[in-house]
Amino acid sequence: MKSIFHYAIAIALIVVMGSCTTSKKQQVFSVNQAKQALDTALVQYKLMYNSIPDRGKYPTSTHKNGKTRWTPPTGWTSGFFPGSLWYLYDYSKDETFRDMAEITNAALDTIKTYTGTHDIGFMLYCSFGNGLRLTGNEQYKDILKTGAKTLASRYNPVTKTTLSWSWGARMGWQFPVIIDNMMNLELLFWAAKETGNKELYDIATTHATTTIKNHYREDYSCYHVVDYDTINGSIRWRGTFQGASDSSAWARGQSWGLYGYTLVYRETKDPKYLEQAEKIAGFILNHPNLPEDLIPYWDFNAPNIPNTERDASAAALIASSFLELSQYVEEPNKSTYYLAAEKILAKLSSEEYLAKTGENNFFILKHSVGFHPKGLEVDSPINYTDYYYIEALLRYIALNE
């Protein structure tokens, strides 16, 4: 009897281990590889920091002529370089990275009252948000609280959304809202928690709910831009600015949405946002134009696929989102997202995408697309790609250690 009992236990263990292996199968990446990639990033970003000509300039991408493209503090991408330095400090605990992050943060202080952009969440939360998380610096709290109020001033109760570009009138728009705004809600959620200001929480959730209704198509792809009428809140126009066409699925836009709804679910625990994130995930993963290695073309409906550029920024965002999303759902989706993220990280960490130290203007990854229709940053390194790649690597390590 005893041996039969042991036999039964052994079978049960094999079955359980079998199912564990299922959730870990096809391991194409490892913690060691993630650490190697981060070690490369440490070298690159130290070199990058030392290449900065003055403190008011933030490395953003590469010009067509091969030179580094810099942005001032008011540029929407200014927070990503300091944000990456904070993440690298988090990884290495090397005080040099903390010093570099603090110094690059400093020139962004003025952004807290800058009313000219909806991207204040990117600019302040990546830089001061990470700084606060890692150091508890009280000054950073004040900057973030003021920044959240500035962002909230772009909310319109008629459209039930926050305004994107302030220059919309040039395009004939009244109140343009782009999918990218979903990312900036993180700052509002933080400030609502920190200050107890329910209005900020309500603005964030109302924006997210309105965006589900108005930005998303039946197949859960999204428009890049929705223009609202400010008198009655109706929709004047839907289309694109950076994508291939008004009816296409611009890859980074789909990724901003995926990341955005995952974070809104994290902050609210409202299942409708989780459902939205999963539907977007389904659109991405089941798309016939998604390559086998899961690095999207710059637009899912780009002309000339497969002879067009991939976008590593979209891939890095998807990997980071999937690692988080995998923690909120049950099998089989849990493994689907986790394994997809692992596959993306493996590809991004290969020679094809990960630059050698000293190359690529000291950016970490190659092959992103910023604004294809304008011919800007086409097949370029971009600082937000690096930021979300580092974030994904850290999330990957955290989940495995």
The residue from 109, 180, 299, 311 that is catalytic is 180
Tell me which residue has tokens 């981060």: 38
The per-type count for the chain, helices as H runs and strands as E runs, is: 14, 9
180 is catalytic: yes
The residue from 39, 99, 109, 119 that is catalytic is 119
Residue number, 252 or 366, with CB nearest to ligand GLY: 252
Those residues with Cβ within 8 angstroms of residue 70's Cβ, 6 or more apart along the chain or in another chain: 52, 53, 57, 58, 59, 60
Give me the 62-101 binding string for ligand GLY, x by CB under 6 A, dash otherwise. --------------x-------------------------
Nearest to 313 by CA among 78, 11, 61: 61
Query: Tokens for 42?
Result: 């440490």
Residue 299 interacts with ligand GLY (CB under 6 A)? Answer: no
Report the nearest approach of ligand GLY to the CB of residue 372 (Å).
Answer: 10
Give yes or no for a contact between 258 and 271, defined as CB atoms under 8 angstroms apart: no
Separation in Å, CA 17 to CA 5, 184, 330, 345? 18, 41, 17, 25
Residue number, 242 or 361, with CB nearest to ligand GLY: 242
Give the whole-angstrom CA distance, residue 323 versus residue 303.
30
CA dihedral for 168, 174, 180, 185, sign (positive or negative): positive
Give yes or no for a contact between 242 and 372, defined as CB atoms under 8 angstroms apart: yes
Which residues ranging from 359 to 388 are in contact with ligand GLY (CB under 6 A)? Answer: 370
Using CB under 6 A, pick the residue from 252, 310, 366, 367 that binds ligand GLY. 252
Report the nearest approach of ligand GLY to the CB of residue 337 (Å).
Answer: 22
Residue number, 40 or 74, with CB nearest to ligand GLY: 74
Which residues ranging from 22 to 41 are in contact with ligand GLY (CB under 6 A)? Answer: none
Instruction: Say whether the peptide bond before residue 332 is cis (omega within 30 degrees of 0).
Output: yes
Report the nearest approach of ligand GLY to the CB of residue 160 (Å).
Answer: 21
Residue 102 interacts with ligand GLY (CB under 6 A)? Answer: no
Query: Tokens for 45?
Result: 């970003």
Residue 180 interacts with ligand GLY (CB under 6 A)? Answer: yes
Query: Tokens for 398?
Result: 């955290």
Report the nearest approach of ligand GLY to the CB of residue 367 (Å).
Answer: 15
386 is catalytic: no
Using CB under 6 A, pick the residue from 71, 127, 242, 380 that binds ligand GLY. 242
Q: To 10 degrees, the CA torsion angle through 252, 340, 391, 60? A: -30
- In sequence order, the β-bridge partners of residue 365 are 354
Report the nearest approach of ligand GLY to the CB of residue 131 (Å).
Answer: 22
Residue number, 102 or 391, with CB nearest to ligand GLY: 391
What does the binding site for ligand GLY look like in residue numbers (CB under 6 A)?
Answer: 76, 180, 242, 252, 370
Please list the active-site residues. 119, 180
